[in-house]
């Protein structure tokens, strides 16, 4: 092979090696300073936390620049001061949270800015870009960062668990009260204590009182059975029923006879009333004739038939009145109401 050709291949190989190394450097976060123009931000830390002068700077997980210098504080101050170069197209809010973010699967840690705790109104207040911006950071290990993120996700679940625990606590208290009530309802007590007011009634005393009432009912039933089976009582009841039947029959016959007597008496009274009406009419005619002055009044007044008729009417009236008195006395004595 010609020497010139060989030199060309060697040069190309060297160029390819440089490109590969640059690519690897870019992959591992190294960017030359001349490729990253921007503004300066100073950050104070109690310790470096694994950062170095080539560490990257991220804002909410987005790469926005790099550290260009890391040095100890001037005594009497303690800690380290870091100088970060931020690309000009990124603005950093004033009250961002500054910490060190370690990568889970290896690699260099990064200077991290987070805005998750800021209100919406605070996102528009940015750090100055004239190199005077200064922030204070806090170091958190990877475990603390993971724990904090897990805490964010676990807080709602823990709140729900606390609510469930409170509900179980309330339910436990309620069931305790129910158990106490059941114990009071089933506690052994005597009827004497309940009747005297020393204790309140419960299920045991209720059942005992029910048993006592059932025993009393059984005794009552036995007494009824004894009375029903008593032959003397049966004979007495039979005799009483017979007497009642006879009395009812006698009352019925008395009522019938009384009704017949009343009917007969009614007919006599009707006839007597008719006679009285005729007599009254005759007397009225006599009076009328006497008032006319025709001279016949004396003959009528001396006529014996007039006296005879009046006498017979009075006799019949007295007989009818006597029968009415007897009927009234009989009704009072026997208590039968008869409508005439």
Judged by DSSP in three states, 158 sits in: helix
Q: Which of 140, 156, 185 is the C-terminal boundary of a domain?
A: 140
Q: Do 203 and 279 lie in a common domain?
A: no
pLDDT band of 180, cuts 50, 70, 90: confident
Q: Which of 140, 164, 182 is the C-terminal boundary of a domain?
A: 140
Whether 305 has a pLDDT exceeding 60, the answer reads: yes
Residue 312 lies in a domain: yes
Residue 2 lies in a domain: no
Judged by DSSP in three states, 106 sits in: coil
- CA distances to 179, 189, 214, 217 from 194, in Å: 22, 8, 19, 22
Residue 183 lies in a domain: no
In sequence order, which residues have a C-beta less than 8 Å from that of residue 275 and are 6 or more positions away?
313, 316
What are the structure tokens assigned to 31, written together? 């960017």
Structural domains of the chain, count: 3
Residue 283 lies in a domain: yes
Residue 101 lies in a domain: yes
Residue 163 lies in a domain: no
Which residue segment(s) compose the domain that 200 sits in? 193-226
* Ranges 58-67, 98-107, 230-239, 252-261: which has the least confidence: 252-261
Model pLDDT for residues 118-168, shown as the tens digit of each residue: 999 999 999 999 999 999 998 865 555 666 667 776 777 777 777 777 777
Q: Do 222 and 317 lie in a common domain?
A: no
Q: Do 49 and 101 lie in a common domain?
A: yes
Residue 259 lies in a domain: yes
Whether 338 has a pLDDT exceeding 50, the answer reads: no
What b/e string do you get for 300-314 counting C-beta neighbours within 10 Å, with b at 16 or more?
eeeeeeeeeeeeeee
Q: Which of 108, 140, 172 is the C-terminal boundary of a domain?
A: 140
Residue 10 lies in a domain: no
Whether 301 has a pLDDT exceeding 70, the answer reads: no
The backbone torsions φ and ψ at residue 82, rounded to the nearest 5 degrees and listed phi first, read: -115, 140
- The pLDDT of residue 97 is 93
pLDDT band of 339, cuts 50, 70, 90: very low
Whether the model clears a pTM of 0.85, i.e. scores above it, the answer is no
What stretches of the chain adopt beta strand conformation (E)? Answer: 38-45, 56-59, 62-72, 80-87, 97-101, 110-114, 133-136
What are the structure tokens assigned to 124, written together? 């528009």
Judged by DSSP in three states, 188 sits in: coil
């Amino acid at each position: 092979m010609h020497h010139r050709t060989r030199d060309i291949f060697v040069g190309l190989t060297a160029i390819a090696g440089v490109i590969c190394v640059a690519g690897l450097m870019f992959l591992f976060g190294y960017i030359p300073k001349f490729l990253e123009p921007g503004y300066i931000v100073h950050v104070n830390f109690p310790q470096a936390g694994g950062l170095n002068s080539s560490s990257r700077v991220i804002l909410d997980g987005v790469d926005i620049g790099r550290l260009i210098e890391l040095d100890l504080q001037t005594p009497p101050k303690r800690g380290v001061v870091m100088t970060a170069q931020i690309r000009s197209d990124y603005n950093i809010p004033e009250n961002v949270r500054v910490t060190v973010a370690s990568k889970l699967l290896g690699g260099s840690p990064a200077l991290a800015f987070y805005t998750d705790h800021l209100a919406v109104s605070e996102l528009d207040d940015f750090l100055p870009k004239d190199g005077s911006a200064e922030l204070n950071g806090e170091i958190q290990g990877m475990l603390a960062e993971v724990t904090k993120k897990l805490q964010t996700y676990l807080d709602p679940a823990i709140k729900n668990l606390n609510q469930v625990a409170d509900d179980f606590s309330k339910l436990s208290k309620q069931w305790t009260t129910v158990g106490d009530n059941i114990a009071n309802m089933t506690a052994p007590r005597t009827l004497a204590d309940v009747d005297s007011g020393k204790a309140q009634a419960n299920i045991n005393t209720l059942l005992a009182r029910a048993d006592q009432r059932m025993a009393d009912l059984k005794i009552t039933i036995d007494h009824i059975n004894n009375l029903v089976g008593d032959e003397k009582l049966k004979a007495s009841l039979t005799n009483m029923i017979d007497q009642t039947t006879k009395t009812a029959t006698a009352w019925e016959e008395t009522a019938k006879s009384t009704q017949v007597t009343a009917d007969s008496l009614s007919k006599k009274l009707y006839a007597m009333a008719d006679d009285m009406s005729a007599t009254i009419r005759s007397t009225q005619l006599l009076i009328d004739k006497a008032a006319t002055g025709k001279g016949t009044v004396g003959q009528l007044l001396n006529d014996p038939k007039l006296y005879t008729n009046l006498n017979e009417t009075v006799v019949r009236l007295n007989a009818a009145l006597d029968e009415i008195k007897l009927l009234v006395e009989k009704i009072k004595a026997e208590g039968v109401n008869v409508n005439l």
